[in-house]
Structure formats: structure tokens, C-alpha cells
Structure 1
Amino acid sequence: MVDITFQFEPFSFTGICQTVALTLCPLIGTTNGVEPVCYSRNVDLGGNLVFQPATLIIDIIAIIMAAIMIYHIRSKYTAVGRKEIVMFFYLYMITVVLEMLLVTGIIPTSSNVYPWFTAVHLGLISATFWCLLLNGFVGFQFAEDGTPLSLWSIRISSLVIFLIMGFIAIATFQNIGPFKASSPGALWAFYFIVNGAAFIIYVISQIILVVNTLDDRWPLGDILFAAAFFAIGQVLMFIFSVTICDEVKHYVDGLFFGTVFTLLAVMMVYKYWDSITKEDLEFSVGSKQNVWEVKELMADDDLAPSFVYY
């Protein structure tokens, strides 16, 4: 059994990449990147090696679940922040698709396009966190939800974050200017500090929103579960990955559990949003029922004269 103690190294991915196989690990540190001490075993499908098969299954499930959540969000025509929150789920789904291509080896690390796809993937991760952060302020009505100001402020700023993170990533991988693959400090800061701060601020803002504006306290449970699931996933992935990998004989590692708990966190974000917009949905359903009742009354009125004039 291989044993390794996770050491937190500020502005360095060395200890992290020795613990879990992130998509950026083959591109930083030495020429050959940094390999994890223990990682999930491969499977041979049609003569092609597929890495992280268990994670691949979860990624496919995550894409399906994201599509279902997007469908339900788009069907709520009267829900507050519907157009804003759906952008977060689109970004999450696209991010999972890219992660699936990278971690499974469908796009091999030896490919010339691998650094570019990884830079896009990292940019999408940061854009997704940023989009979630801005969605946290939609409920405070700083701008009317669904208006061009609200929608385009999220779209443009998320695009800017995507471009900044993508540029930092590819510049680090290619050793452009002050960015070096051997010391990816800027990439580390964006990946952990900026993204982490965005998630924490979102959770805090939603707690404040529920406490100050809603009579129902049940949505607090949803947002706290989302935060708990995300935190558990990060701990299992970045701290206990090697231990898990050793105990289950290389069938899965921390990346599998990180993907699972991130999906659970995203699902709880959806459940939270759904719970705070439920009244609008009930109103829209009720209005449809009233329309049907009016039609039934009109049909009865049409039948009444035939009895009167007979």
C-alpha cells in the first residue's frame, strides 16, 4: 500500500497533483507533468484505453441531470431569475463534457490540442463559479431579472472571467511571459482562491436573502446541503484520494467522489432555486386552471338557451 500525506503548498499544484489527477497536472511542474501516487485503473474498450471509467459514468449522469434541470427551469415561465440561473446550468454541463473528454483520455495528454482544451476547461470552471456568484445577487433585485441589463451583465462578465482564466492557463502551460509551468502561482490563485471565494460569497448571500426576505426557512437547508456536499467532495478529492484509491484497489479515486458530490451540490442549488420560486410556479398553474374553468362555464352557457327556447 502506498501512503502519502497531503501537504498544502500555497501557489503550488505539486502536492495536489500527487494526490488527485486534475486535468492540468500533466501540463505543469516538470516536462512530463506531475503524476498522482495512486489513480483509478484503466479499462480497454475496443482497443482504446479509457481512464477513470467510474468518473466517466458519473460525468454522463451529470450531463443528463443538467439537461433535465435546464428543461424544468426553462418550463417555469414566471419564475424569478429563470433566464439567469439557466446560464449557470449550461456552463456546468459544458464543463462536465470537457472534463469527461480530458480525464478519460479521449483527448490524450500527448495531443497538441490537450493544453488548449484544458485551458478552455479551466476557463469554464471559473466562468461557472462567477455565473453562480452573480445569480446570488439576482434575488436582491439590484437589476430587474430577465432584463437586458441583468442578462448581459452576467454574460459579458462571465465571458471576461473565462478569457482571463483561459489566458492564464495557456500562458502557464506554454511558458509565455511571466507565467511558468514550473511555478503556476497565478493559475493556483485563480483556481482555488477566486473560485472558492465566489462559491462562499454565493452561499452567504443566499443565507442573507432567505433570512431577510422569506418567511419560509426550509430553503436554508437546501443551500446548506449544497455547501456541505461541495465541501465534502473537495475534501475527499484533495485530501483522501490516495487513501480511497488504496482501500478500493484502484477501482476509484478521489476524483470520482469529487465529481459525485459536485453533482449533488449542483442539484441542491437547483432545489434551492426551485424552492424559492415555487409560489410563482403555483400561480402560473392556478391561472391555467382558472382558464379551463372559464371555458367550462362558457360551454354550459351555450347549452342553456336551447332549453329556454324549446
Structure 2
Amino acid sequence: MSTAPDLKFAFGNFNYICSTVSLTLCPLVGGPDGIEPVCYSRNVRIADTLIFQPSTLIIHIIALIMTAIMIYHIRSKYTAVGRKEIIMFFYLYMLVTIMDLLLVSGIIPTASQLYPYFTGVHIGLISATFWCLLLNGFVGFQFAEDGTPLSLWSIRISSLVVCAAVAFLSIATFRNMSPFDPLHPVALWVVFFIFNGASLLIYVILQIVLVVNTLDDRWPLGDIVFGIAFFATGQVILYVFSLDICNFAKHYIDGLFFGTIATLLSVMMVYKYWDSITKEDLEFSVGSKQNVWEVKELMADDELAQGRMYQQGPGGGGGGGFGYGSQPGYGQPNYYEERY
């Protein structure tokens, strides 16, 4: 049975973490051959292709489906505040999931010369996702009106800069470009844990302030609490209990499986929170057309009962100036038909 590694957690060092759970960067730091976890999920062979972490791969596919559904619902809320801003976060999360799927499953093998570059982009996308979420935390305060070029392009450009900078830092560390060293990846460790964690913490604080000071409803605070609980639980399982889970499940699953599930649930709570604090203007929504059609049908019944009140006038002409004689193109019923 695998036991916990005889290592201690240290600032700026991935040795203990990578000995516990197989992160995508672990084969590239800590030594010439990277760091291999003590216990990890067993692989399967499909069509002469070796697939690692098959259970986690299934969760990644489910995450992509769920993210696509959330993006669809966000896009359908045409007048919701911050719709275009928050959708960038979900697009970035989808890209992170795709990269994680390719790297963790071994579709891009660690022996490939492209693996360090894909891993660098993957880490850059993770940081860009946290940064995008942080900026979305300011949208509700209306420092810049949502949906405007200033609001949208500030998030897009800054997220791209963060992604490029972190990707360069990661690749430089993996390739041992001075002054970055894969044996002591302190800068990468700071970005991976402190920068990303601080971005998430600031976003949570901003949303609590927004709900308390702006909204009359306090129920969105529950969405925030559940989201943080899911994320924190996933991180604890990933970095603390991964070996215990792997040994107990006899290598069928490990902490990465439950960590991926918890991350998906926390992202879903971000959507649930945003949906709970945004109200769509029904006057301009597609769903309001149903009510218009109902009004039209009721008016048609009234007209039949009253003898075509808009076109009936003395001598068959349009009386009262509503029907404009016998011309059918200007009556009220035709107005609804032309408009809807």
C-alpha cells in the first residue's frame, strides 16, 4: 500500500504537492524527470492508446457539457446586467477544461516536446480565468457601464496579458531559462497559489459587499457560501486526502477526480449567483411575445362580438376616425399583425 511521502510542505516548492497529486506541471518541475505522485489513478488502454485518469476524463467531458449549457442560458438573457462580461469567464473555464483534458489524460504525452508549451498555456489560462472572475466582481459597482467597449475590452486585453505573462513564466521555468529554475520554481508557485487565490478572495469580498449594500435580497449570499464551500472542499481533497482516496479506491480514482467535480460545482455556483442577482427587462425579452399574442387573440374575439369596432362606421365605412374608411391596412388588428 502506498504511503504518504516523507516530505513537508514548503513555500515555493512543488515537491510535497506533486508527490500527493498529479498536476499537469509535476513532470516538469522538481527534478530532471519531474515528480511522480506516490499513488495515482490507474490507466486504461483504448484502441491501442493509453488513457490516464479515465474517471477524471469523464468529469471533464461532463464539465464541458454543463459549461455549454450555462453559456447558452447566459446568452439567452439579452438584457441582463454584465451578461457579456461574465460569459468571458465561462469561455475561459471551458478552455482550461479542454487543456486539462488533453494533458491529464495523456492525449498529449509528457514525453512530447510540445508538453511544456501546452502546460504553460494551461497554467496561463488558469490565471486568466481567476483574473477575469476578479474583474467581473467590479461590474456590479458600475465603475464602467457594462456592455460598453471600455468594460469589455479592459477585461479581454488584461486577461490576455495575464495569460501571456503567466504562460511565459511557466515555459521559462520548465525550460530552465535564467533566472527561472525548475528545481526552485518560486515565482511559478506564487502565481499558481497566491495570485490565483488572492483574485478569488477579492472577488468573494466584492460580491458580499455588493449584496449587503445594494440588494434587498440576501439569498445570493447562500450561493457565494456554497461556491466557496465546494471550491475549498475540492482543494482540501486534492492536496490533503488524495493519497488516502487513491489507496482506499485501489487506484481506480484519486483526489484529482473529486477535485475536478468540486471545481465544476463551484463554477456552477458562480453562474447561479450571477443569475440570482441579475434581472432581465421583460419588455425587451423574447419571452414577452407570448403575452402579446394572447392580447391579440382576446382583441380579435372582442372585435367579432362587437361587429369589427375599428372598421365599422356609418354606411360600412370606418367611423370615429379609427378605421380610415374601408382601407384594411390601417386598422388596429392589422397593426398587431404587421408588428408581430
Could you say which TM-score interval applies, normalised by the shorter chain? Answer: over 0.9
Q: Which amino acid aligns with 2:91?
A: Y
Q: Name the structure 2 match of 1:193.
A: 194
Aligned match of 1:99: 100
Q: Percent identity?
A: 68
2:327 is aligned to none
Counterpart of 2:326?
Answer: none
1:182 aligns with 2:156: no
Structure 1 position 280, deviation (Å): 1.7
User: What corresponds to 1:124 in structure 2?
Assistant: 125
- Whole-Å separation in 2 of the counterparts to 1:305 and 1:193: 75
Q: Which residue is 2:321 aligned to?
A: none
Q: State the secondary structure of the residue aligned to 2:140.
A: helix
Q: Which moved more, 1:246-255 or 1:287-296?
A: 287-296
Q: Which letter does structure 2 place at the counterpart of 1:156?
A: I
> Would the alpha carbon gap of residues 286 and 68 (structure 1) be closer, same or farther in structure 2, given more than 3 Å must change?
closer
2:280 aligned partner: 280
Equivalent in the alignment of 1:77: 78
Task: Give the distance between the partners of 2:289 and 2:145, measured in 1 at CA.
Answer: 25
Indicate the structure whose relative CO is greater, using CA pairs within 8 Å and at least 6 residues apart.
1
- Separation in 2, partners of 1:50, 1:231: 28
Corresponding residue of 2:255: 254
Displacement of 1:289 after TM fit? 4.2
Structure-2 separation of matches of 1:21 and 1:218: 37
Cα displacement string for residues 78-103 of structure 1 (whole angstroms, at most 9, x for unaligned residues): 11100000000000011100100000
TM-score normalised by the chain length of structure 1: 0.95
Gap runs ≥5 in structure 1: none
The 2-side partners of 1:215 and 1:289 are apart by 30
State the distance in 2 between where 1:291 and 1:167 align. Answer: 55
Question: Separation in 1 of the partners of 2:185 and 2:299?
Answer: 72
Counterpart-to-counterpart distance in 2, 1:272 and 1:99? 25
Q: Distance in 1 between matches of 2:281 and 2:256?
A: 37
Deviation, 1:204, is 1.1
Could you tell me how far apart the structure 2 residues matched to 1:116 and 1:153 are? 26
Shift of 1:4: 1.1
Distance of 2:141 and 2:214 partners within structure 1:
9
2:323 is matched with which residue? none
CA distance in 1, matches of 2:308, 2:19: 85
Q: Does 1:232 align with 2:247?
A: no
Determine the structure 2 residue equivalent to 1:27: 28
Give me the whole-angstrom Cα distance separating, in 2, the residues matched to 1:157 and 1:132. Answer: 12
User: How do residues 1-310 of structure 1 correspond to structure 2 at under 5 angstroms?
Assistant: 1-4=1-4, 7-277=8-278, 279-280=279-280, 284=285, 287-300=288-301, 303=304, 304-306=306-308
**CA deviation after TM superposition for structure 1 residue 46, in Å:** 1.1
Counterpart Cα distance in 1 of 2:92 and 2:55:
22
How big is each residue's C-alpha offset from its partner over 1:47-93, in whole Å with a ceiling of 9 and x where there is no partner?
11100000000000000000000000000001110000000000001
Q: Deviations over 1:214-266 (max 9, x none)?
A: 11111100011001100000010011111111111011111111100000000
Describe the SS at the equivalent of 2:280. helix
TM-score, normalized by length of structure 2?
0.87
State the distance in 1 between where 2:265 and 2:308 align. 61
**Using the alignment, how far apart are the partners of 2:287 and 2:249 within structure 1?**
52
Q: Match for 2:170: what amino acid?
A: A
Name stretches of at least 5 consecutive residues in structure 2 with no aligned partner: 317-340
CA distance in 1, matches of 2:308, 2:132: 61
Separation in 1, partners of 2:303, 2:66: 47
Describe the superposition over 1:163-185 as per-residue Cα deviations: whole angstroms up to 9, x where unpaired. Answer: 11000000000111201111111
Which shifted more, 289-298 or 57-66? 289-298
For residue 37 of structure 2, give the secondary structure of its aligned residue in structure 1: coil
In the comparison of the two structures, how many residue pairs are matched? 309
